[in-house]
Amino acid sequence: MDDASTVSATGEQPVLRPASEFTIEELTNAYNQTRVDYIVPMPMNARRLREYIHNYDVDMERSAVATMDGHILGISMLGVRPGRCWCTRLGVLPLKRRRGTGRLLMTDHIQKARELGAECMILEVIKDNMPAYNLFTQLGFRDTRVLLVLRRPPGELKAEIGQYKATFLGPDEVPALLAQRRSVPSWLDETPSLLKAGNLGALRVELANGGRGWMVYQSSIFQLGRLVLQTEAGDPREVARALVHALHREYTIQDTNTENLPVDDPHLPGLLDMGYIESFRRIEMRLDL
């Protein structure tokens, strides 16, 4: 888009201000307004936004809010970890779209990432969100993989499971398990994200046929999530079935929601066997800097 598309009625250009200049409540309200017609709205409250900023290392000085004529047009946040940056929560108010605001926010993030000396920037975009996907592609991002968001409502475990032994582990054993992880996590389920989120538990299973593996998970009163599964021996599908069976025998009333499982993860068939369903898909993208 040309510059004229971003000029207001008074002739002003959009101004980018650090997100740190706004209160959490102001940012929450702006974010929710950008998502009112989104494919997957994912509304926030102030408490959840604070947790989000903490868990995912969001740099509020480098995150940006676009304003014009004293009003917020859009918002985007930048996570920063050694060598990498992550763009998240990019959104523009519906009535302010197609004026170049999203491009302006993304260009600012890319510049800040380069100033930090980051090797790359990554992001996730919901599949079929073509305006956002096209913008990221135009800016040089490329697809890396497809990630699934899965849900399992509470309910009876109907699948037939062979004999296995389950051992639940304490939270102090979680870091050592995550250090052994062979899968490639997304920003949301990297070890720093999980440890900062807290309320983690773990379990091991040993199958009668020699299969074995472990799971790390987050538990709250109403929900389970952040599942990390690893097979140490045997068929990942069978190991996943046993892990999930043990988990939901222990936690019978919680809804389960887990994000960003790669579509080619070998444990996915076992999760589907045990009643997990696909909520939606994300495309992970990367820009080498």
Q: What is the pLDDT of residues 60-82, one digit of tens each?
A: 999 999 998 888 899 999 999 99
**pLDDT for residue 2:** 28
Cα separations in angstroms, 37 against 148, 254, 268: 21, 29, 30
> 267, 253 in Cβ contact below 8 A?
no
Whole-model pTM: value is 0.91
Domains and CATH numbers, the chain: 3-118 (3.40.630.30), 150-280 (3.40.630)
- pLDDT tens-digit profile of 157-171? 877 788 999 999 999
Instruction: Give whole-number Cα distances, 203 to 46, 172, 226, in Å.
Output: 32, 12, 14
